[in-house]
Each structure stands twice: as C-alpha cells, then as structure tokens.
Amino acid sequence: MPEPSNAGRQVAPAQLAERLARPVRHPMISAAQAAVRARAILEYPAGDPDNGWELEEFPQGWLVHWRGWKGKPGQFSVVIEREAGLVRYFTAFIPPQAITAGYEAVRELGQAPAGRSY
C-alpha cells in the first residue's frame, strides 16, 4: 500500500510564519563532549605535559588552551560552542579574553572547518 503524501497539504500563512520565526535549536553539548572534540582536534590527551590542553568554560562554550602553543608564533584560539558543538578557529589577532568576554561580537570572525565534523 502506498504511503500517504503531504503534497496536497496546506499550511496556513499564520502557522508558516510562526514556524519560520522560531529559532532553530540544536542540542547542547556537555563539557565531556567538548573534551572529546578537543582531543580529536589537537590529537593529544589533556594530560600530555608538552602538548596537553585545558578547557575554559564561558557562557557560549569552551575555549581550548593548548600548552603546545606556548612561545610559538602564529598561535590561534579554538572555541567549541555549547550549542551543537560547532568548532571555530580564531587568529592571534583576536585575544582569548575578547572571545570569552564578548563572544557574540567576535563569533563571525572565527572560521569553522569546512566539511569536518568532530
């Protein structure tokens, strides 16, 4: 027996407008899930003495502090967003304090990796 089709169904304009106005919500990730992503990105465990890392929690997610960057030029920051776990990379021109203090103002300056999911 064929499946019923939704092709002929109409949605009232008011219902459509209400659906389109709702913000899309993604599942929030936990600190443990952010740590799994950080490990996948940096390819070192958190406890590695030379290349380990720590997560600094802030309202929109976690800033990854990687010990392997210390004293090296071209450092950048990694953010793992709380909503859906999206990863963004920020150049050294955006200091970590600016990211954690005003993430919404600098968010679009960060680059999300193309085609990569953690």
For residue 114, what pLDDT is reported? 76
- Mean pLDDT for 12-36 is 77
Taking 60 as the threshold, does the pLDDT of residue 1 lie above it? no
Count of domains forming the chain: 1
**pLDDT tens digit sequence for 100-115:** 999 999 999 999 887 6
Q: Is there a domain that residue 19 lies in? A: no
Q: Is there a domain that residue 95 lies in? A: yes
Q: Is there a domain that residue 16 lies in? A: no
Q: Is there a domain that residue 67 lies in? A: yes
Q: Which residue segment(s) compose the domain that 105 sits in?
A: 24-109
Q: How far apart are CA 65 and CA 85, in angstroms?
A: 17
| pTM greater than 0.85 | no
Q: Is there a domain that residue 13 lies in? A: no
**pLDDT tens digit sequence for 32-73:** 999 999 999 989 999 998 888 999 999 999 999 888 766 666
- Write the CB contacts of 45 (distance below 8 Å, at least 6 apart in sequence): 39, 52
